[in-house]
Amino acid sequence: MRTLFPALTADGPVYLDSAATTQKPLPVIDAVTDYHRHHTANSGRGTYSWATTLTTAVEQIRVDTAHFLGAHAHEVVFTGGATAALNAVALGWGLTALTDGDEILYSPRDHASNVHPWLRLRDTLAHFGRHIRLIPYRTTALGEADLTDIAAKIGPRTRLLTLSHLHHVYGALSTPQQSAELLPERALLCLDCTQSAGHLPIDVRALGADFAVLAAHKMFGSPGTGVLFCHERIHDQLGPFLPGGNSAVHVQDSALVPDHMPHRMEGGTHNLPGILALGAALRMLRDIGTDRIADHNRILTRRLVDGMRDLPGLRILPGPAHASDGAGYGIVSFTLDAITATDLGFVLAELGLLVRTGAHCVPTTPHPAPGESDSVRVSTHAYTTTEEIDRFLDCLTTIATEVR
């Protein structure tokens, strides 16, 4: 399988930054180049064969995406990425559905893409005299969403709970289905699945999601493509997102009236090479099996944690390293005394080990938790080998000993 990833050569660097973006397999690369090289056209527009064939392909990928998520095809919206998908929830749902005094529960330690849209929504609504409250909830010592704190903060005006299924820094898996059971009837659950999609089997109905977002580039696909799942039970609450050409709306008495889903949320020209690449990525994930990928990442994570645990001056951030159940999801973040994460990342890169450093897109807070503003993140995927983990651990051991 590894031979399908042309960037991963035997004499090249060790790529340990899959949580930022995954490497691309040949079928995905071919899907992008074939679109540009052969029969370039637009979908949903022309009646000639190039266009109609492409339209059929896009809708088949929508069906495949729905199957991947345990959803229906009309619940799958293609977006410009996970960030665009979360903003679609804020603008396509929140802008019209929320009223004065409503509340949104969120985690300030989630990715900025699952924080900033809600801040912007609050400020936008305030301009029109509707004041909503953003209520932060805590994470546990393991890096999971704190269900006890969430339960204590849910009230009769709670309209949305948004959380990360798999945290992008801590590598901790939350249990959204338990959170969904706590919510009042009118409240919705929005899941950021950008790290779990392609790493774990996902069933949005079993998770209790009303909204769920994916980023194609984190699951073998190409950048600039995302997926927004919208449960059919809330379609009547959704206004058009990016209204314009190709969006399913019509004008009645000089007003926009939304038509059928999912095209109501898909104004403008699709990222067609990206959607075709997503289709190829989904086929590859199906052939490998996300359950097998999950098992592989668990083995790599435990090997990584066990090798890091006793290194002098090294502190592992919350996550599976602090759990007793042997879990692991392919993400481990840490700090090392006497050297900044940025400098450590530079040294590791010079040794041929590519990792992520910095704040990892966690919004700046007045009192950040230790390691929150500057840490090293190691992340794996199906193409990562145990030999590469051992090479990383050997280098890290040498560095930790020397800086001590």
Separation between Cα atoms, residue 83 and residue 89, nearest integer Å: 10
pLDDT of residue 126: 96
Boundaries of every domain in the chain: 2-16+290-403, 26-285
Q: Which pLDDT tens digit goes with each residue over 11-62? A: 899 999 999 999 999 999 999 999 999 988 888 777 888 888 999 999 999 9
Is pLDDT at 247 greater than 60 in this prediction? no
- CB 262 within 8 Å of CB 77: yes
Question: Does 262 sit behind a cis peptide bond, omega within 30 degrees of 0 on the bond before it?
Answer: yes
Which of these ranges, 87-91, 184-188, 241-245, has the smallest mean pLDDT?
A: 241-245
The 10s digit of each residue's pLDDT in 337-388 is 999 999 999 999 999 999 999 867 787 665 566 556 789 999 999 999 999 9
Q: Domain 26-285 belongs to what topology?
A: Aspartate Aminotransferase; domain 2 (3.40.640)
Mean pLDDT, range 147-164, rounded to an integer: 96
Per-residue pLDDT reduced to its tens digit, 258-288? 677 888 888 888 899 999 999 999 999 999 9
User: Residue 127, class by beta-carbon neighbours within 10 Å (0-12 exposed, 13-18 middle, 19+ buried)?
Assistant: exposed
**Residues ≥6 apart with Cβ < 8 Å to 211:** 89, 93, 188, 189, 190, 191, 228, 229, 230, 231
pTM: 0.93
Report, as an integer, the average pLDDT of 201-222: 97
Q: State the catalytic residues.
A: 361
pLDDT in tens, 119-148: 999 999 999 999 999 999 999 999 999 999
CATH number for the domain formed by residue range(s) 2-16+290-403:
3.90.1150.10
**CA torsion 133→366→193→360, rounded to 10°?**
160
Average pLDDT over the chain, rounded to an integer:
92
d(CA 37, CA 31): 10
The residue ranges of DSSP E strands in 107-215, in sequence order, are 133-136, 158-164, 188-192, 211-215
User: Does residue 236 carry a pLDDT above 80?
Assistant: yes
- The amino acid at residue 77 is V
Of the listed ranges 243-257, 280-294, 343-357, 387-401, the least confidently predicted one is 243-257
Q: 245 falls in which pLDDT band (50, 70, 90)? A: low
pLDDT of 246 > 80? The answer is: no
